[in-house]
């Protein structure tokens, strides 16, 4: 086999007393090998890569806003020391091509507080986002079918720490068959997970499983572990949903399956507004229960010239008698 040495130049940027390295990377081509010489940042490596390449990024802080428009693997050396910092200038990383893997990074500071920009914005299908820290962004991870009126399928988001964002993960219009699995989605100031339809196809058939969704919301009691708005059928199973302002707040949503979760210690564990066909089953609600659990909400009666909101309730007929052992570590389930 031909062997070639890939030489990457290093630029040292002095900022205050810190030394910030430029991108140093290796592009490993699937079928052939070529010599590449760059002095640029991560975006330069992406721009000079081809579909199927793997780009390995060593530890360092990279002040960039990256667009990925090729089917590549972008791999950081260590998620705690390989940092992509958006400097509050917009989306930190945008994925516009199918079949991208991102692993081993801290992705942070998409924009000033209150923005709708994201640490990681996904506009494509069949991507794998794993083993990252996603912190201090507007949306931590945004699957964005709304902006371009597209449908987004079959992305897997797993083994990530998603915290200190405004919203941890957002699934917008047309997001279907995506998997959110074994993440820590904690201490986000508004929602941990937001399944939100703004007028396009309802997000549906997504699986939210084996996550820690804890301590989301703010000191004023605003925010939720999981919020849904005009969503379709989705599965919320085997999660820890603990100590949020609201555990689950469901709004104009149909066909949710909410089963086998630990729903513990939230200011309000669950409620709903104008939702139908929810299936609650075998959740653990703060304490052992020998009777069915009522989930209180509001129903709407409407016909021409008449509108009325009335209190009603759903029922978890067989609540669990003890908490589930829900793991967010590697080793079982969806691999």
H-helix or E-strand spanning residue 184 = strand 184-186
Is the model's pLDDT at 65 over the cut of 90?
yes
Tell me the pLDDT of the chain averaged across its residues.
87
Is the model's pLDDT at 240 over the cut of 70?
yes
Is the model's pLDDT at 252 over the cut of 80?
yes
- Its pTM stands at 0.87
When pLDDT is averaged across residues 22-29 and rounded to a whole number, the result is 49
Hunting for tokens 């494509």 — which residue is that? 124
How does pLDDT run across 292-318, given as a tens digit for each residue? Answer: 999 999 999 988 999 999 999 999 999
* Confidence bin at 114 (pLDDT 50/70/90): low
Is-contact 246 225, C-beta < 8 A? yes
Contact partners, residue 331, CB within 8 Å, separation at least 6: none
Pairing state between β 306-316 and 293-303: antiparallel
Q: Which among 234, 235, 181, 245 is positioned nearest to 212, based on CA atoms? A: 181
Q: What's the confidence (pLDDT) of residue 3?
A: 36
* Confidence bin at 329 (pLDDT 50/70/90): low
Q: Give the chain's domains with CATH numbers.
A: 61-316 (2.160.20.10)
Contact partners, residue 123, CB within 8 Å, separation at least 6: 94, 95, 96, 144, 145, 147, 148, 150, 152
* Confidence bin at 335 (pLDDT 50/70/90): very low
Q: What's the confidence (pLDDT) of residue 311?
A: 96
């Amino acid at each position: 086999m031909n062997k070639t040495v890939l030489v990457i130049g290093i630029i040292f940027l002095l900022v205050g007393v810190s030394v910030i390295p430029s991108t140093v990377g290796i592009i490993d081509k699937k079928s052939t090998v070529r010599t590449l010489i760059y002095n640029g940042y991560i975006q330069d490596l992406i721009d000079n890569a081809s579909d199927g390449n793997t780009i390995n990024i060593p530890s360092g802080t990279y002040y960039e806003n990256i667009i990925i428009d090729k089917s590549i693997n972008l791999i950081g050396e260590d998620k705690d020391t390989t940092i992509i910092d958006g400097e509050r200038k917009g989306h930190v990383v945008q994925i516009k091509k199918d079949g991208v893997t991102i692993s081993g990074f801290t992705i942070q500071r998409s924009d000033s507080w209150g923005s709708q920009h994201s640490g990681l914005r996904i506009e494509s299908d069949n991507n794998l986002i794993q083993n990252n820290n996603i912190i201090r962004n507007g949306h931590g991870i945004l699957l964005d079918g709304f902006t371009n009126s597209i449908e987004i399928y079959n992305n897997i988001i797993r083994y990530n720490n998603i915290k200190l964002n405004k919203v941890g993960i957002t699934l917008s219009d047309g997001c279907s068959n995506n998997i959110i699995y074994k993440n820590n989605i904690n201490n986000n100031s508004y929602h941990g997970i937001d399944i939100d339809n703004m007028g396009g196809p309802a997000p549906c058939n997504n699986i939210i499983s084996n996550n820690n969704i804890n301590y989301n919301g703010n000191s004023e009691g605003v925010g939720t572990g999981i919020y849904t708005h005009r969503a379709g059928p989705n599965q919320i199973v085997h999660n820890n949903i603990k100590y949020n302002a609201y555990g689950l707040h469901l709004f104009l949503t149909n066909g949710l399956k909410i089963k086998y979760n630990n729903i513990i210690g939230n200011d309000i564990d669950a409620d709903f507004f104008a939702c139908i066909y929810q299936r609650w089953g075998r959740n653990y609600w703060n304490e052992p229960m020998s009777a069915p659990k009522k989930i209180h909400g509001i129903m709407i009666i409407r016909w021409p010239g008449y509108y009325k909101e009335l209190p009603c309730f759903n029922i978890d007929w067989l609540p669990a008698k003890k908490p589930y052992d829900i793991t967010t570590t590697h080793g079982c389930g969806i691999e």
